[in-house]
Amino acid sequence: MSTLTLPRSARSGDLRAGLPFALAALAVAGMSALLSGWAPLGFSIVTVFLFAGPHNWLELRYFMGRMPARWGRLRGYFLFAFAGILGLAGVYALLWASQYGAPPPQDQAEYERLSQSIFQSYAWWNTAFVLWVATLVHLRSRQNPRRDWGWIWPVGFLLIALTWLDPFTWSLAMVYAHPLVAFWVLDRELKPSKPAWRPAYHLVLCAVPLLLAVLWWRLASTPNLAGDGLVDRIARHAGSEILNNVSSHLLVATHTFLEMLHYGIWVVVIPLVAYRARPWKLDVPLARRSRAWRTGLLALLGIGVVIVLLLWGCFLANYPLTRDVYFTVALLHVLSEVPFLLRSL
């Protein structure tokens, strides 16, 4: 009996098959690094305005396609995942709202009490997040194909100890780690759909730290960014208050560069390699469950389009406030990536 073999161009070892994709990706990455270093504020503003909403809509569409029609034994896993996503995102939004626009402390004693309260609040949130992820990893390890992931508990408790030492640095690490998750998701999608692209894609990934090294070398000694309240907000989001000995120009450039790559993967590459139909055509298992489910999913995508349009309008009306609200609410999609990524392993 003959065995089915892939042609040489479809094997993962053939670098030439993915060369056009790699060259295009390197061009985008190089241009993103150049613009991030040369005009970090302007590039950050334009990037978030253009891609923040569409990339969240496309992520929603992607998650719909990865949801099984019937949960069966996965019911507990998904219920726990969604409870954590909504609960953690809701608590985080409340923490942000309680501090946004609050009057400054009147004296040193009030300042210390407020600082301690904020410290403990974020430490407890980070603790809940780590326990949620560790529990998801444990639940996933008991599903087929089973994994030996017992190490997650000692690692999780170590991370909890670290977050109680400095919860703000931990939160900043999440800000910078989140764009990197898109690289991992794309690699998982290339494996079944475009295996010939993976060697070239891995070379592109090797170029990312090199581009970051060039950015850090060129911008390490640059002065901090100066400007109005929007500049301060963008710099704080990039970690200027926590890493106050590092140039805010460097921090904003680094964060903007990684965010642009994150948006590029979700807006361009994932739809290219992961969708079996055009994104607005709902050919997914969950939509085939029943007419009611299909109608509900289409309505959800329609609401997503309305939200994208409203987000653009709000950006035009009040960019600083909308940016703050967006990066708070967008935690929903950050958390949503965890259970779906675990399911792909």
| Backbone CA torsion sign across 266, 269, 270, 275 | positive
Q: pLDDT tens digits for 230-248? A: 898 899 889 988 998 999 9
Judge whether 2 lies within some domain: no
Q: Give the whole-angstrom CA distance, residue 178 versus residue 213.
A: 19
Judge whether 117 lies within some domain: yes
SS3 for 324?
helix
Over residues 135-152, mean pLDDT: 90
Q: State the DSSP string of 53-85.
A: HHHHHHHHHHHHHHS-S--GGGHHHHHHHHHHH
Judge whether 21 lies within some domain: yes
Q: pLDDT tens digits for 198-239? A: 999 999 999 999 999 999 999 988 999 887 788 988 998 899
Over residues 111-118, mean pLDDT: 81
Over residues 103-119, mean pLDDT: 76
SS3 for 151?
coil
For residue 170, what pLDDT is reported?
A: 86
Judge whether 7 lies within some domain: no
Q: Tell me the CA distances in angstroms from 322 to 218, 253, 335, one per residue in order.
A: 31, 21, 20
Q: Give the whole-angstrom CA distance, residue 19 versus residue 23.
A: 6
Higher pLDDT among residues 50 and 3, named by residue: 50
Judge whether 106 lies within some domain: no
Over residues 106-117, mean pLDDT: 76
Higher pLDDT among residues 330 and 6, named by residue: 330
Length of the chain in residues, anyone? 345
3-state secondary structure 6-50: CCHHHCCCCHHHHHHHHHHHHHHHHHHHHHHHHCHHHHHHHHHHH
Higher pLDDT among residues 67 and 124, named by residue: 124
Is the distance from CB of 12 to CB of 196 less than 8 angstroms? yes
Which DSSP category does 239 fall into?
Answer: T
pTM across the whole model: 0.88
Q: Give the whole-angstrom CA distance, residue 206 versus residue 25.
A: 12
For residue 11, what pLDDT is reported?
A: 46
Q: Picking from 5-19, 251-265, 304-318, which range would have the lowest pLDDT averaged per residue?
A: 5-19
Q: Give the whole-angstrom CA distance, residue 89 versus residue 138.
A: 22
For residue 4, what pLDDT is reported?
A: 38
Backbone φ and ψ of 126, nearest 5°: -60, -35
Q: pLDDT tens digits for 308-322? A: 999 999 999 999 999
For residue 333, what pLDDT is reported?
A: 86
For residue 214, what pLDDT is reported?
A: 94
Q: Tell me the CA distances in angstroms from 28 to 25, 188, 194, one per residue in order.
A: 5, 21, 20
Judge whether 86 lies within some domain: yes
Judge whether 3 lies within some domain: no
The one-letter amino acid at 279: P
Is the distance from CB of 40 to CB of 256 less than 8 angstroms? yes
Percent pLDDT > 90 in the chain is 50
- How many structural domains is the chain composed of? 1
End-to-end CA distance of the chain: 32
Domain that holds residue 172: 12-101+111-343
Judge whether 5 lies within some domain: no
Q: Give the whole-angstrom CA distance, residue 10 versus residue 269.
A: 18
Over residues 300-311, mean pLDDT: 93
Q: Tell me the CA distances in angstroms from 5 to 9, 62, 149, 192, 199, one per residue in order.
A: 11, 30, 33, 15, 19
Q: Picking from 211-220, 276-285, 328-337, which range would have the lowest pLDDT averaged per residue?
A: 276-285
The yes-or-no verdict on residue 83 having pLDDT over 70 is: yes
**Confidence band (pLDDT; 50, 70, 90) for 1?**
very low
Q: pLDDT tens digits for 30-42? A: 999 999 999 999 9
Token pair belonging to 136: 């998801």
